[in-house]
Amino acid sequence: MKTGIDAISFDVANIHLPIKTLAIARNIEPEKLEKGLGLLKMTFPDVHQDAVVFGANALTKLIIDNKIDLKEISRIYVGTESSIDSSKPIASYLISLMEQKFGEDSLAECDVVDFTFACIGGVDAMQNCLDFVKLNPAKKAIVVTSDFAKYDLNSGGEYTQGAGAVAMLITADPKIIAFDDNWATSTKGVFDFFKPYRTISKEEITKNTSNDPWFDNLEAEIEIHKDQPVFDGQYSNQCYMDRTRNAYFSFKKLKNTTETLYNTWHSIVMHLPYSFQGRRMLSEIYALDSAEKIIADDIAPADYQTKIKEVAKSDDYRSFVTEKLQPAELASSLIGNLYTGSIFMGLLSTLAHFYDTKKEVAGTKFGFLAYGSGSKSKVFEGTIQPEWKSALENVKLFENLTESTEIDFNTYESLHKKEQKQSIRTPKNEWILDRIEKEIPVLIGARYYKWID
């Protein structure tokens, strides 16, 4: 029995800052970001948008476009690292909003939960749902990935920001892609990128040494949560390479094959914090798994990295990138990082590219190299199904991305600092964050959303 993705939809922030505008404002040579990293646009949430809004919009599109009967959905699992509550999952918000739109108690028997492991949480959620459908072939599940990749102003990650969601229907006998049973994992607990609770003493804020209550905070230290991560870019890249390499060769063992694995894949889809990250990270695997023995077994450690850099600049590797990696990069260039949604947007980008260029890929294998900081990689593969084109008819990825509204640098900074009070675009046919409760004691912080026709 086959299990996999039967339908897919997306929602991304519909305002963007051109990367060239950001580069000029930060005194960075634009070509360094555009041609060096493959970045063209950076999407950013409007005032009325958050991770719940993106997830709800993507899920609503999935349900409407595919005429999904909610009574057939047994679980909605969410991958995210942009949760807006330390207890109440985004999935529970999505249940509430879908019932608000499609009928009270229409999902009352549906299981929901969030998965959090940096950018790989969505893959974890999907693998769990695939296992569920294998055991219950008549049932269906939905995976939603929703995130806002926000970095500090003037930081090394600022130009990789992005926001949006991807929603996928997981079924038996899927129309888009069926995944194989082999999944390889490489895990190591590290601090390459994380979002800790930070503290500041109440005395520093209030200049009061007696620890008087401050906005109902009785503790002497105030905990602060920021959307922006603590990260070490260079170390994170190394962790990405190490975990992905180890998972890749573990996958070869599971497949019990000695042939060059990546040659068996028509396309390769990777987690893309920025558009060209995958091609930068994959050169080592390309060299190590080559039938031509690009890297000798007895190569000196000092020469190893030099050889990898030579491989990355070679004509053969560049042709390999164009053929197998570039289709997944196209959407990333126009959106930015989607954290958990990045690898699935890469899949959608690849399929949309082949759909628009009228290229048939049914029956071909796609390889997936997922990564999440902290850190973990998973490698798996799937086969594109005969009905993939019919499932892509209503998605219109690149057509929708052209409708994004450009903002100027001052507006971007105002949004980033949460100084902007009015939405840049007037909401239409979408969910919005309507209000956050600030008065009723037993509901302080509750977030309320509504649909705007």
Q: What are residue 427's DSSP bridge partners?
A: none
- Segment 37-46 shows an average pLDDT of 98
pLDDT digits (tens, 9 = 90+) for 346-403: 999 999 999 999 999 999 999 999 999 999 999 999 999 999 999 999 999 999 999 9
Q: What is the dihedral of CA 417, 420, 421, 423, to 10 degrees?
A: -120
| Residue 372 burial by Cβ neighbours in a 10 Å radius (0-12, 13-18, 19+) | buried
Tokens for 445, please give them: 């912080």
286: confidence class by pLDDT, cuts 50, 70, 90: very high
| Residue 242 burial by Cβ neighbours in a 10 Å radius (0-12, 13-18, 19+) | middle
User: How much is the pTM?
Assistant: 0.97
Q: What are residue 382's DSSP bridge partners?
A: 179, 366
Q: What are phi and psi of 138, to 5 degrees?
A: -85, -10
Q: What is the pLDDT of residue 301?
A: 83
297: confidence class by pLDDT, cuts 50, 70, 90: confident
CB atoms within 10 A of CB 371: 31
CB atoms within 10 A of CB 131: 14
Q: What is the pLDDT of residue 128?
A: 98
316: confidence class by pLDDT, cuts 50, 70, 90: very high
Tokens for 149, please give them: 């990749």
Q: Do 324 and 262 touch, CB atoms closer than 8 A?
A: yes
Q: Identify which of 209, 129, 119 has the alpha carbon closest to the alpha carbon of residue 171.
A: 129
Q: Identify which of 424, 267, 442, 274 has the alpha carbon closest to the alpha carbon of residue 361.
A: 267
In sequence order, what are the residues at sequence separation of 6 or more whose Cβ sits closer than 8 angstroms to the Cβ of residue 32? Answer: 23
- Segment 163-170 shows an average pLDDT of 98
Q: What are phi and psi of 289, to 5 degrees?
A: -100, 10
Q: Do 425 and 14 touch, CB atoms closer than 8 A?
A: yes
- Segment 240-261 shows an average pLDDT of 97
| Residue 363 burial by Cβ neighbours in a 10 Å radius (0-12, 13-18, 19+) | exposed
Q: Do 333 and 80 touch, CB atoms closer than 8 A?
A: no
Task: Provide the angle, in degrees to the nearest 10, between the axes of the packed helices 233-255 and 277-288.
Answer: 50
Q: Identify which of 151, 166, 146, 162 has the alpha carbon closest to the alpha carbon of residue 38.
A: 162
C-alpha–C-alpha distance, residues 422 and 440, integer Å? 25
Q: Do 22 and 159 touch, CB atoms closer than 8 A?
A: yes
- Segment 160-165 shows an average pLDDT of 98
Domains of the chain, each with CATH number or no CATH: 3-192+232-452 (3.40.47.10), 195-227 (no CATH)
C-alpha–C-alpha distance, residues 366 and 382, integer Å? 5
Q: What is the pLDDT of residue 292?
A: 87
- Segment 232-246 shows an average pLDDT of 97
Q: What is the pLDDT of residue 160?
A: 98
- pLDDT at residue 216 tops 90: no
